[in-house]
Structure 1
Amino acid sequence: MKIITLTLLYKRIITLIYLFALLFSSTCVYGYFSHKNKHPSLILKDTTTNIEYANRLSLSIIKIQDATTTGICCDGKAKAVASGGKPGYTYQWSASANNQTTATANLLTNRTHSVTVTDTDGNQATQSIVIKCLNTCDIKTTNKVTNVSCTGDAKGSIDLTVENGTPPFTFAWSNGSPDEDLKNVIAGTYSVTITDATNCTTTSSATITEPNEAVAVSIAKRTHISCNGLGQITIEGSGGTPPYSYSIDNGANYQTSETFLDLAQGNYTIKIRDANCCTSIVCTAILFNCTDAVTDINNTFINTPVSGNVLTNDEDLEGDTQTVTTTTVTTSEGVIVDIEPNTGIYTYTPPTGFTGEDTFEYTICDNGNPVACDTATVYIEVLPIRDPKNEAPIANPDTAFTEINTPVNSNVLVNDFDPDGDPITVTTTTVTTTEGVSVAIDSNTGAYSYIPPTGFTGDDTFEYTICDNGNPSLCDTTIVIITVIKNQSNSTFANDDAYFTECENILGNVLDNDFDPEGDTQTINIIPVDDVDNGILTLNTNGSFTYTPNSGYTGTDSFIYTVCDNSSPITACDQATVYITISTTTPPNTTNCNVTNESIECNGTNNETIANIWNADNIAELESCVSDTCNTDFTGQITSNYDFNNLVSSCGLGGNIEVIYTITDKNGDTTTLTATLTLYDSTPPDLTSCTIPDLTLACSTTNIEEIASQWNDDNITKLETCATDNCNVNTTASVTSDYDFDNITDRVLVVEYNITDDCNNTTTLQAKITFENNSVIANDTSLCALDEIESQIFDLFDLLEGDYSTGGIWEVTSGNTSVIDDHFFDPLSIELLDKDTSEEIVFSYTENNLACPIYLETTIEVHNRCAVFSCGEDTIKISKVITPNGDSYNEYFAVNGVENCGYVVDVKIINRWGAIIYKSSDYQNDWNGTAHQSSLGSANQVPSGTYYCIVTINNSGLKPFSSPLYIGTK
């Protein structure tokens, strides 16, 4: 297709575009141009022939530079060049060029960009350009590699050199390092990217190598220690870079020999070093193995076989299994003994008639590496039948264990005994061991301390002697073997024990001669390895045990126990045998008998009966409770030296009787038991038959103190004769009193009597004298609350008669009211619900400042039952108190009872000095204490106090009334 664009220019701008579409067999390109001008013209452009016409607008683009990697591919630059048309061009770059409007476009990215130019006439032309991204970097690098000498080490390095480029540079290694050089890295291939200041980058890599196999060392041969001597180690090197050298002291010293000699037990670290000083280590140990055969003991009676075990107390601290290799041995007395190799059990039959000590040796070996062996001696004591005079004590051999340079404390007496039960003591209190150690032994307890020679290991021994206190004194000597071992990680030791009993229970402790060199706590397994055969055993974790032989059994018995320490994390354990010998003679046993000292209350003449019954009960108790350890059923005799005449009196008929009971079994063995009966008196005198009266005396009584004193004496005499005592009917009680006439309190004298028997038991009794003042009496009265006169304030002193003062104290004893101004009572303070009710108020009057104090009680009944009287003296009620204080109660002086009689009342009020302070010839109950010139007071009121009133009822025929009048104006 061919396109022809026609542009027609007229004076009036008319643009006609004719598009001719012609079909051709060749390929065509589309294009256009536009033009406007004052002078019309036609511009044609044939794109096939490229024929140009005048005034054509043309556009070309000059590439100034492509984008570069240093500019992150966004630093390209191009310039648009326009010609033709009408100058005065404008430019519009595409959005890819950030819509720039200058001829030159900057910061172009690597892509296609276009620009449109417009001339002054509005003609436009468009062209495009392609911007590429070019790599302009010329950075060069070189690497200097330091390889790893010792396989696995991180000591390789790469020294990087950078040439060209623009500093500063940044580095990004494949292992994350930002440094220029790599240091202290393991073998391997490393790459790095280098970027300069213009963002130019390059990549480089290098490889660090190491030997194919690391240097190593292995154990070729070890020689361990068997009890004695020293060990050795031979090693072998490989890998790395030969030749090798070796060190056993952490590199302090090296040797070329592969064998290390004279090594003690312990752990070793051996280091190999190759030609590049590369090292490797191997850990190994020189083992120590040893086994200890420990001295054994056993006891039996003449002609009596006995079994034992040689392995129970033997030690193998490595825990190896011990086996007896000398399975048949001959004793020093010619007895052939067979020993079971795995269990260590043997049976020994003494020669006929032989008594004394017999011995044999045995050897054990363990299954350790290397095999260790040891030899020990078995000591057997053959005891005679009991000599009724005295038997020699038995000193059994002792053993102890400790570690090198470690003292040990032990005791030589714990497995020794005396068949007669006599006390035994050590007579060799200072001994010297075979290694020259001086040992002091406590003669009574057998305790000793042993300090081994410095650096010594092995067996050290000493002998000691014990003696009893019989007649004659007999002795025995034996050996103590102390084994000093090298320091162990943990160990504990159990040693054989021996106990002797005469048909009695044995209370012992297997730990008494056991040891733990590290000081750990030893604990016993309560289940024995081998239990007793002829009794009952109770074994406790703290080592204590109880052994009860079977009834009637005599002879030997034994058990094997296990002891372990509390070391952590690995405990150490050991075993030992306890040998028990039971004799044939034991006196009767009274352990279960409840015959003890007893105290019984005295009962006078019946004391002897009490004592007789007590003694008979004791004998009956002994007959039922006594037992014979070897023969449970007791068939002997019980006697006592009881005699009531042996009573030692302490007080009254009481006292003490000591009685000795003798218990004899069928074999003539005896036991004595002492009990004391105490008849005591803890009961005070009985006053059931005693009665002493209280006394009341009038204060006016003559000889009143003499009467009171005689009353006290009479009481004492009566108590001395009437008191009885349960422990001594013939003894008169001692009577004392605290009588003191000056101790009168509140008109009462209380006297306390103490009645004491001769055992100092006391009963207390009290009596009293009451003193009455009868010089004054109190009267009761009744007041009507509805009566105008009776309901007025009442003076309580009006209730008293006799010789009294007004200085006493009035108090309400019963009733809901109070005393006014020390001695007045207001009846209206009592609330009565109706006319038929009443209330009784009890008042007390006390005068304590008198020689004979006064205390009186009186009752006032307040009621509403007012009587109506005719005009007469009894009907006239005159105020005794007025209180003109405005409360409407007792406000006015009143003369009542004459209202209906037509009488005229004349009143005169007189003060204490005799002056008339008020008078009226026709009184109308209207005076309220008003003052005038003859009185003192304030606010027109007379002072509070007592006044006198004279009331005359004119023409009544009645005498004038006069009485005190109390006026309270406060």
Structure 2
Amino acid sequence: MGMKTTHLKKLIFIVLLLYGNVMFSQTTVSMQAPCNISGCGAQDVEIGRVYIGDINGDQITTCTVGDVLNDVYLYVDISKAASKIDLYMQFYLMNGSDKIDKDGNVYVGNQKISIGISGSITTGTYQMFELINYTCGEELTLTDVYLSWQTPGSVVGPGCATQQSKCSGENLPPIDVQTPIAPDFTFVYNCENNGFQGATFTNASTGGDGVLTYQWSFGTGSSPSVANTEGPHIVQYTSSGTKTVTLTVTDEDGDFNSITKNVVIDSTPLASIIGTNVKCNGGSDGAVDLTVTGGKTPYTYSWSSGETTEDINNLSIGSYTVTVTDANNCTSNATIEITEPTVLSTSYLASDLSCGGSDGAIDLSVSGGTAPYTYLWNTGATTEDISGLTAGTYTVTVTDTNGCQQVESVTLISNDNEDPTISVPEMLSIEGCNEDDISSLNSRYPFSLTESSDIKDSFFATDYIASDDGTIVSITYIDVVASYNGCITTVTRTFTVTDTCGKKGTDTLIITITDTTNPTWTNEPMDMTSVECDPSTNAQAFSDWLASFSGTDSCGTAAVTHNSTGLSDDCGGTGSETVTFTLTDECGNSITKDATFTIIDTTDPTWTNEPMDMTSVECDPSTNAQAFSDWLASFSGTDSCGTAAVTHNSTGLSDDCGGTGSETVTFTLTDECGNSITKDATFTIIDTTDPTWTNEPMDMTSVECDPSTNAQAFSDWLASFSGTDSCGTAAVTHNSTGLSDDCGGTGSETVTFTLTDECGNSITKDATFTIIDTTDPTWTNEPMDMTSVECDPSTNAQAFSDWLASFSGNR
């Protein structure tokens, strides 16, 4: 970054007054393709520094990171430029690694920002262009800088040099733009072991001139509390809370700027463990109680044994380490060792007795476990050692202070040369539920969990043998339930023979008690048939029927299951299903029984709107069809098992006349099971209304005769009358036989006209048609005198006759 001194600042101000406005008005800025810099080696024009300033050229020294600066400009110092004109500059303006144009837009390509300054070039400061969208904290660099100029008198103007000797740029280093001081820093938390978080603060400031100095203040409870180097700085805290951290950056001109951030410091977690050791050797009843203080909740836990809960139990011996992580990802570790006592063990020194005597003794020694110990012998003694014993087996249970036990048995014998022997069958299987079914009937001796009394008097039989070189004193037995899985019980029966010296012999019989007996019905499945349907209760009745059967078992409970998938829905609410019921005891013995549940529907549906005749309906062509359709659809019924539908056999009204008609219809009401009832009803439309004249017959008289039109006029008169009927059409008939011909073409006739509808309803009206003649005829050849006819006897008569016939007339 370029150097700036007070003297140079004053010089720049003077240069701006002299040249700034002139150069600004002669400056042009555009984006152009790069000039060829090959061979550019002249150093006649040099750039001193580039900085961001305001409209007046004053350098902007401070800003706040992230703020967009408005009304700022990029300025360049020309530090060497004697007797030169038409300065031309090209460069890439870099924002970090991005190329940007003067408006701050990132672009891809090789076009450079190009600036032409026409006229004489002198040393001084030149405003290049306004920086748009410059954000405080961005660092700008000019790279690939190219300079060209012309010698005085040239007329080429600013642009790529026409003479390679008038350019400079082949090996120019990048030029950093002097930006405002923008103090900033980042920080990351660390988790120190002093009970509170620490933080590492890293300078992220930009801008400023020359060598920068830094002044940090890290807030209350910090160590160190201040620093005057760039850093990074690792700071520890002795308290939690919000810490106000300030960084002030000052450049070598004395310009400075500060930023303050609030940093929240939490305490760090501290884990401690209280352990409970395993009580008895080989056990897994150890436990760990973890306590966490400090840090930021919630915590997560990761034990070396894989658990993720705060406390862990059911532990065997070993080392257990936990890592506690708080919400700030700070951790604390703690380790505890779970131990166990040594094995509780016993040893003894036994003193056998003289045969038949009572001078035996047992000297017991105990080690391991956790002292003190307690003792319980099968004789009832509670001392460690016992004496004054006869021949027999002595058992002691040793219990340490944690409740751990060790059982030791010692058998004392009389001095004898040979042990007695005993032999019993190896196996015996019986039917039953458990050991309680062992009796003297099926197992020779009843079940006994305690040693029996002497049975030697009843013992000897086939497969039950005992012998001794001396005298057998007693034979006893004791039963132990070896296993039970709910259905099979195994009992180990141990027989012991004892001679007079206390020597013993044993043999065992394994008794297996198995439940192979099927359960029995207490309420056997039975068919339920002909249940009349009731939709509101059918489902419950079926469910109750399924659940109504039960059974019992001599050894325990028996459960009923079935294979029902639901009633078949044949019609309405009816249905049937044959169900297999299975009664199974706890040992899998089972019996089955089939039963059928049937819901039937034999009840006819009932009319809710019974079909009724509809008669004497006066016809109305516009409504008759709809009235008939509505009548057909107006009847309905109901059924207790479901729905009921109405059907009919109508084929349509008989069309007797006009819009009338009638039909007797059979209506059938049928439920979903086919039960039905019928009812006949008749719909009748009648017509009793006479038709009406629309053009009533009227007399036509005094018609002057015209032989050429009279007949047509009479015919038109007869056909001119008409009528209508509300049920259909109406036809006009008459009784005319023709005009009476009184004279010439005249005549008259009185006609009866009848208007009849399609149902025969009719009305009549008389009218007279008259043709008269009151006009005199006219001469067409009027009679004229004929005189002076020269007589001619042969023609006179003929002439006279012709004269008489020569005259005619016309009507």
Point out which structure has higher relative CO (alpha carbons under 8 A, 6+ apart).
2
TM-score band by shorter chain is under 0.3
More strand by share: 2
Give me the TM-score of the superposition, normalised by structure 2: 0.24
The alignment's TM-score, normalised by the length of structure 1, stands at 0.21
